[in-house]
Structure 1
Amino acid sequence: MATRVDDCGSWQTVWLEPEAVVRHHTGLSTLSPPDWDDLEHADHRIPPVEPDGRWSRRWEAALGVALAHLVAATEGCPVLLPAGPVAELLRHAIGRYLPAGPQARSVALAGPGIRPSHPRPDILLVPRHPLTGAPWRSDEGTVVPLDSGVWAYLARPDETSPLPATGVLPEGVLRDDYPLPPHPRYPLTPHHRAFQDTLARLPAVRSPQLLRYRDMCR
């Protein structure tokens, strides 16, 4: 009645056979779809590191897709990342796919709950809707969509400081109830197949400059 794809190198999906499945209404009330404001909830964030200390596969795939959109938006030109989690987590990955140099285009997070930054950035990293996949829209610049759980973590990362919010710990007091965050042995690297497949499907890839970029990536 269905075919399921569940492999480490592919998106998880289920294809139903139309002639073998009959749709019936259950009579139960349908839940309202998640709203953009739901992305601000702490339980929507996806940590970049798994409990075993490895990078999240969802982050690697989402970063590959977002990088393809970023390359298309910049036509392979350098970018300038904002300070904070975006630069700390994405600098290495973006450096593998975009060159460094002058006249870099500015990048910033945008989305629900984030005030517009000034001066206006050239490119905005915005979340995809968790249900429809549609990107959050903005009239302030070029939009690059990002997985909503990844975006939520970048916009509001977990609290990581073992120090109190105000003041300092008393002298001689050590904290042993606050585990150190896991650190993978290598920098975060995007899924290259996700990057290539996404870039190949973007209309902008047909421009001469991006065709040269794809040949260089090969």
Structure 2
Amino acid sequence: MFVFVCAGCDAELTAPLSQVALPVHAHQQYGNGLQLPVLMEPGTFAVEPEPWGPPWRRPEETGPDEAAAHGVHGPVHALSGGVPGPIVIAPGDTRGAVLIPEKRGGACCGLAGGDGPNMACAACGLPVASRIDDCSLWQAVWLAPGAVRPLPVEADDAGPLSWAELMAEGKGVPPFEPITSWASLFGASDRWHWSPQWVAAAGQALAHLLAASEGRAVAVPDGLASEMFRRDLDALLPAGPPARRAVFAGPGLSAPDADARILLVPSHPRTGEVWAPRTGDARTPAASAYPVPLPFGVWLRLVFPEPELPVPASRLMPEDVLRDDPPAPAVHDVFRIDQHVFWHTLARLPAVRRPWLAEILAPLTPHPRAGTFQSADEGLRDPGPCPVL
């Protein structure tokens, strides 16, 4: 475990923290005027390995060689000229830091960090972090690289759970959740939405599904997976057989079928490791299938959906029995992927350079306001300057 200290005076700025994988939705902007919860679990931190934050440069300002040096192989709206390595933590894990009130970052409802770090070390005044809590942004504190350094500390840290332990824990992410707006008079339960985590996970997975398609139709499992991907896959890929089959694979499931060429698999929430089938023969179909990663909590609820809520009883209940069986939430919106996550992922896959995929992407644009392919994507805002540095 680590405590992060000020690079200027060594004052402690965080509680003891364990490193986990950077969430897929770390830089997500969801909806319009919505109140998103805290990004990170208490006691954890994650590192953004890429450059992130201003100055932002348009593609015409950079050549393909410079983009490739950043791991970018395809079209992007802008490239970051920031410093790699910002660290994200939960706001409640900060220590010894104070807000810089004049640095709101152009936010409308809270803090966004667009003016640079808006938190300073209370001991020496060095700007060290950006507190993010504006509408439609995940609440977080991003520690600026170069302004802090990690200090190892002795603490109980059991290490990452095994796949079997993760399955036993059963911590999934529900596909729907109540999210309130800043102007709501009724609280968080007035409107149910598709989970922002599912929307971001679908953006990442769709990029991999396109890369795995080899320009052919892709068939995904029925149910929620079809609702997530079918509309966009049908819009982007040619119709008709032979389709490449995508199936679920992972802990707790039997071996995938021999004709499955794409595997929808979980990624470990702490290590980021993508699950892979154990096989001693590299020639088996599972060994050569393309793994499409999904965050473990989303994958778990796709493969093992929660049972339907019970129907409220119509007869009188005994006086000593309390019942609270609400009807299942109704989300009538069409599922739309997070377009920013989609383009961010796709541009970093070498397959984006293949002629057949370049032809598919040619009519599209990586600009976040362009809409999701054939329909306008309501509520997704331009990421603009990243709220990190």
Specify the TM-score bucket, using the shorter chain as the normaliser: 0.7 to 0.9
Match of 1:155 in 2: 303
Residue type matched to 1:153 in 2? R
Higher RCO structure, 1 or 2 (CA under 8 Å, sep 6+): 1
- C-alpha deviation, 1:43, in angstroms: 4.4
Matched, 1:16 2:144: yes
Q: Tell me if the contact between 1:92 and 1:187 (Cα under 8 Å) persists in the aligned partners.
A: no
User: Quick check: 2:206–2:229 contact (8 Å CA) kept in 1?
Assistant: no
Matched, 1:214 2:341: no
CA change 1:85–1:38 in 2 (3 A) is farther
State the partner residue of 2:160.
33
Matches within 5 A, 1:36-185: 36-41=163-168, 43-51=170-178, 52-138=191-277, 140=286, 141-160=289-308, 162=310, 177-185=324-332
Higher strand share: 2
Question: Counterparts in 2 of 1:177-216, with a 5 A limit?
Answer: 177-216=324-363
Encode CA deviations 1:15-62: one digit per residue, 9 max, x unaligned: 4333x4343333212222122223324642101111231111111111
RMSD: 3.0
Percent identity of equivalent pairs: 38
Question: Which 5+ residue runs of structure 2 have no aligned equivalent?
Answer: 1-127, 179-190, 280-285, 318-322, 366-389
| Cα separation, 2, equivalents of 1:66 and 1:98 | 15
| Structure 1 residues 78 and 174: CA distance shift in structure 2, 3 A | farther
Instruction: Look up the equivalent residue of 2:166 and give its one-letter code.
Output: L
What is the distance in 2 between the residues matched to 1:10 and 1:78? 35
**Structure 2 counterpart of 1:28, which letter?**
A
CA distance in 2 between partners of 1:72 and 1:10 (Å): 29
Amino acid at match of 2:142: V
SS in 2 for 1:143: strand
With over 3 angstroms needed to count, the CA separation of the structure-2 counterparts of 1:101 and 1:31, relative to structure 1, is: same
CA distance in 2: counterparts of 1:205 and 1:28, whole angstroms: 44
Query: TM-score by structure 2 length?
Result: 0.48
Q: Does the 8 Å CA contact 2:211/2:352 hold for their aligned counterparts? A: yes
> TM-score under structure 1 normalisation?
0.81
Tell me whether 30-39 or 205-214 shows the greater mean CA deviation. 30-39
Task: Give the counterpart letter for 1:215 in structure 2.
Answer: A
Instruction: Say if 2:216 and 2:238, in contact at 8 Å, map to a contact too.
Output: yes
User: Following the alignment from structure 2 to structure 1, what is the Cα–Cα distance between the partners of residues 167 and 154?
Assistant: 31
Instruction: State the match for 1:166 in structure 2.
Output: none
SS of the equivalent of 1:44 reads coil
Q: Which has the larger radius of gyration?
A: 2
Greater share of residues in helix: 1
